[in-house]
Amino acid sequence: MSTVTAAAFPAWRGELALDFERRADRTVLARRHHTGPLLVQKPLYPEGDEVCHAIVLHPPAGVAGGDVLDLRVACGPDAHVLLTTPGATRWYRSLGAPSSQRVGIDVAADGCVEWLPQENIVFSGALAQSALDVHLGPRASFIGWDILCLGRRGSGERFDAGFWRVDNRLHAGDRLCWTEAGRIDGGSTGLAARPVLAGASVTATFMAFAPHLAPTVLAPLRLAAQAVAAEHCRAGRAAVSLLPGLLIGRYMGDSSEAARRFCVALWQHARPVFGGRDAREPRIWKT
């Protein structure tokens, strides 16, 4: 048996801070600062100057025990930003130290941020913590999702050890509009319990917020979301809830592809309402 200890593998700390501004009719990446293995590619404009697309890179391609990733995004007034990742984030088995990712997003008045990362794949034995903290100014909007795969079912691996901890919060001004905090322990009875995961290995949460939405706007959006769930979630179960200004979509099943299709389809329907324009998929999703 190997006697390698956790100290033999130094942990990475990656920090990335991005400031976006609206200048004339263009959203620009005005400032960036990074340390460690967390970077951003050159800003892209597949939709024209008003929306800036940015791809967040983590060159190691996986998060090992002890690693800490910290992403901070500031979106100025009237700016519109879409952030995504080039591939899944893999959370590796830990030798003892927990790993974590923190994403903080601040959106100023009339701004919009879309945080659309690809899925998290949590290996059995990972000790993983993820946090998302969104703060919205007056008339600001946000669209985001979180896709979680526990274990690697395709390789015959179940999530039998370790844990996944999540802490997501969305604030509009001083008001806390959405919070979700919890912990899933590998191998626990909760994995099979109906109030928890009911045996599912893949979950997804979609959220979209915009202030002062009239019920006449939300009603057709809910019908569209229900149609999306019926079409894309035959490999699992899905539901959509509408709260004041907030759309929440949920998927549970065993297919990361079905979870992703569900989120993308919801985004395509919700973006014209919450983001003010038709959806155009980033090219990186097709590579």
Percent of the chain at pLDDT > 70 equals: 97
The answer on pLDDT for 6 being more than 60 is no
Residue 107 lies in a domain: yes
Residue 1 lies in a domain: no
| Mean pLDDT along residues 16-38 | 96
User: What's the CA gap between 236 and 106, in Å, rounded?
Assistant: 33
pLDDT in the model for residue 9? 56
Residue 157 lies in a domain: yes
Residues 6+ apart with CB under 8 A from 284: 55, 84, 86
pLDDT in the model for residue 190? 78
Tens of pLDDT, residues 179-232: 999 999 988 887 888 777 888 899 999 999 998 777 777 778 778 877 887 877
Residues 6+ apart with CB under 8 A from 186: 124, 125, 150, 151, 159, 160, 161, 162, 163
Tens of pLDDT, residues 168-184: 999 999 999 999 999 99
Domain range enclosing 253: 6-286
Q: How many CB atoms lie within 10 A of CB 181?
A: 10
User: What's the CA gap between 53 and 42, in Å, rounded?
Assistant: 9
Number of domains into which the chain is organized:
1
